Structure 1
Amino acid sequence: MKKNIILLYITFCLSNVFSQEEKPNVLIFYVDDLRAEIGSYGSKTAITPNIDELAKDGVQFNKAYVQQAICAPSRMSTLTGLRPENLGIYSIFTPLRKVHKEVVSMPQFFQKNGYKTVSIGKVYHHSVDDKQYWTHHFKKENNSYVKPENIALMKRLKASGKKSLKGPAYEDADVADEAYKDGRASKYAIETLKKLKDDKFLMFVGLSKPHLPFNAPKKYWDLYNKNDFTIPSREKPEGMYRLALSKWGELKGYYGIPKKGDLEDDLTRTLIHGYHASISYIDAQIGKVMKTLNELNLRKNTVVIFMSDHGYKIGEYGAWCKHSNVEIDVRVPLIISRETDYKKRKKNKISNALVENVDIFSTLVDICDLENAPITDGKSIVPVLNNPNKKWDKAAYSVYARGKKIMGVTTTDGNWRYTEWRNSITNAILETELYQHKSSLLSFVNLSGNKKYKKVEQRMKKLLEIQFPRNKPFLQNDIPRKR
Structure 2
Amino acid sequence: MMKMKYLILSNLILLGICGAKAQTGRPNIIFIYTDDQRFDALSVVQKEQGDKARFPWFKTPNLDRIAAEGVRFRNAFVINSLCSPSRSTMLNSRYNHLNGIANNHTGLKDTTVTYATEIRKAGYQTAFFGKWHMGNETGKRPGFDYSASFVGQGKYLDCPIEINGVAQPSKGWIDDVSTTNAVNYIKENKDKTFLVTLAFKSGHGPFQPPVRHKDTFSDATLTKPVSESLDSPYQGQIDTGKKGPGAAPQQKKGGSWTENNDEKIRNYFRTLAAIDENVGRVLATLDSLHLDQNTVVIFSSDNGFFFGEHGLGDKRAAYDESMRIPLLVRYPAKFPKGKLIDKIVLNLDDAPSILDLAGIKSPASFQGKSWVPLIEDKVKDWRTSFLYEYFYENGYGVPTIKAVRTETGKLVQYPGETGWSELYDLSKDPNETNNLYNTSEGNKLKTQLGKELEKQEKSVGYINPEFADPKPLDENGRYKRPQKELIP
TM-score, normalised to structure 1's length?
0.78
Give the superposition deviation at 1:21. 4.7
**Could you report, residue by residue, the CA deviation over 1:209-247 in whole angstroms, capped at 9, with x for unpaired residues?**
111121112433433134512244674547734589999
- Distance across 1 between alignment mates of 2:349 and 2:237: 26
Q: Percent identity?
A: 24
- Distance across 1 between alignment mates of 2:375 and 2:425: 27
- Distance across 2 between alignment mates of 1:475 and 1:272: 34
Aligned residue among 432, 437, 440 for 1:448: 437
SS of residue paired to 2:467? coil
Give the superposition deviation at 1:275. 1.1
Alignment of 1:470-481 (within 5 A): 474=463, 476-478=465-467
**Against the structure 1 CA distance between its residues 272 and 287, is the aligned structure 2 distance closer, same or farther, given a 3 Å change threshold?**
same
Instruction: Report the RMSD for the aligned CA atoms in angstroms.
Output: 3.6
**Could you report, residue by residue, the CA deviation over 1:324-356 in whole angstroms, capped at 9, with x for unpaired residues?**
222110111111112x222xx221011111111
Give the superposition deviation at 1:123. 3.5
SS of residue paired to 1:91? coil
1:34 aligns with 2:24: no
**Could you report, residue by residue, the CA deviation over 1:256-283 in whole angstroms, capped at 9, with x for unpaired residues?**
xx99935856551111111111111100
Aligned partners of 2:129 and 2:148 also within 8 Å? yes
Give the superposition deviation at 1:446. 1.4
Give the superposition deviation at 1:316. 2.3
Aligned residue among 56, 68, 85 for 2:97: 85
1:351 aligns with 2:341: yes
SS of residue paired to 1:422? coil
Alignment of 1:205-284 (within 5 A): 205-232=198-225, 235-237=228-230, 240-242=233-235, 252=245, 261=252, 267-284=260-277
**Could you report, residue by residue, the CA deviation over 1:337-380 in whole angstroms, capped at 9, with x for unpaired residues?**
12x222xx221011111111101111122221114634311011
- Distance across 1 between alignment mates of 2:79 and 2:139: 19
1:419 aligns with 2:433: no
- Distance across 1 between alignment mates of 2:243 and 2:287: 39
- Distance across 2 between alignment mates of 1:393 and 1:311: 21
Aligned residue among 353, 366, 372 for 1:382: 372
Of Structure 1 and Structure 2, which has the larger fraction of its residues in helix?
1
Aligned partners of 1:69 and 1:329 also within 8 Å? yes
Gaps of 5+ in 2: 1-15, 47-54, 160-169, 471-488
**Against the structure 1 CA distance between its residues 474 and 122, is the aligned structure 2 distance closer, same or farther, given a 3 Å change threshold?**
same
The one-letter amino acid paired with 1:69 is: S
Q: Report the counterpart of residue 433 of structure 1 in structure 2.
A: 422
Q: Report the counterpart of residue 130 of structure 2 in structure 1.
A: 121
**Against the structure 1 CA distance between its residues 279 and 68, is the aligned structure 2 distance closer, same or farther, given a 3 Å change threshold?**
same
The one-letter amino acid paired with 2:336 is: K
1:189 aligns with 2:182: yes
- Distance across 1 between alignment mates of 2:108 and 2:386: 23
- Distance across 2 between alignment mates of 1:51 and 1:251: 36
Give the superposition deviation at 1:112. 1.2
1:135 aligns with 2:138: no
Q: Report the counterpart of residue 394 of structure 1 in structure 2.
A: 384
**Against the structure 1 CA distance between its residues 189 and 245, is the aligned structure 2 distance closer, same or farther, given a 3 Å change threshold?**
farther
Aligned residue among 302, 324, 336 for 2:329: 336
**Against the structure 1 CA distance between its residues 72 and 477, is the aligned structure 2 distance closer, same or farther, given a 3 Å change threshold?**
farther
SS of residue paired to 1:317? helix
- Distance across 2 between alignment mates of 1:209 and 1:353: 27
The one-letter amino acid paired with 2:340 is: I
**Against the structure 1 CA distance between its residues 144 and 246, is the aligned structure 2 distance closer, same or farther, given a 3 Å change threshold?**
farther
1:96 aligns with 2:108: yes
- Distance across 1 between alignment mates of 2:295 and 2:459: 43
Aligned partners of 2:127 and 2:146 also within 8 Å? yes
Q: Report the counterpart of residue 23 of structure 1 in structure 2.
A: 26
- Distance across 2 between alignment mates of 1:444 and 1:463: 22
- Distance across 2 between alignment mates of 1:182 and 1:243: 35
Give the superposition deviation at 1:60. 0.6
The one-letter amino acid paired with 2:120 is: Q
**Against the structure 1 CA distance between its residues 372 and 315, is the aligned structure 2 distance closer, same or farther, given a 3 Å change threshold?**
closer
**Could you report, residue by residue, the CA deviation over 1:100-159 in whole angstroms, capped at 9, with x for unpaired residues?**
36x41111111111111111001453444872421110022621358xxxx9xxxxxxxx
- Distance across 1 between alignment mates of 2:37 and 2:282: 19
The one-letter amino acid paired with 1:111 is: R
TM-score, normalised to structure 2's length?
0.77
Aligned partners of 1:51 and 1:286 also within 8 Å? yes
Aligned partners of 1:245 and 1:319 also within 8 Å? no
SS of residue paired to 1:314? coil
Q: Report the counterpart of residue 117 of structure 2 in structure 1.
A: 108
- Distance across 1 between alignment mates of 2:376 and 2:182: 29
The one-letter amino acid paired with 1:122 is: K
The one-letter amino acid paired with 1:373 is: P
- Distance across 1 between alignment mates of 2:295 and 2:446: 43
The one-letter amino acid paired with 1:308 is: S
Q: Report the counterpart of residue 482 of structure 2 in structure 1.
A: none
- Distance across 1 between alignment mates of 2:56 and 2:429: 14
**Could you report, residue by residue, the CA deviation over 1:151-204 in whole angstroms, capped at 9, with x for unpaired residues?**
9xxxxxxxxxxxxxxxxxxxxxxxxx9721011111111111101111111111
- Distance across 2 between alignment mates of 1:16 and 1:56: 27
- Distance across 2 between alignment mates of 1:246 and 1:193: 49
**Against the structure 1 CA distance between its residues 470 and 117, is the aligned structure 2 distance closer, same or farther, given a 3 Å change threshold?**
closer
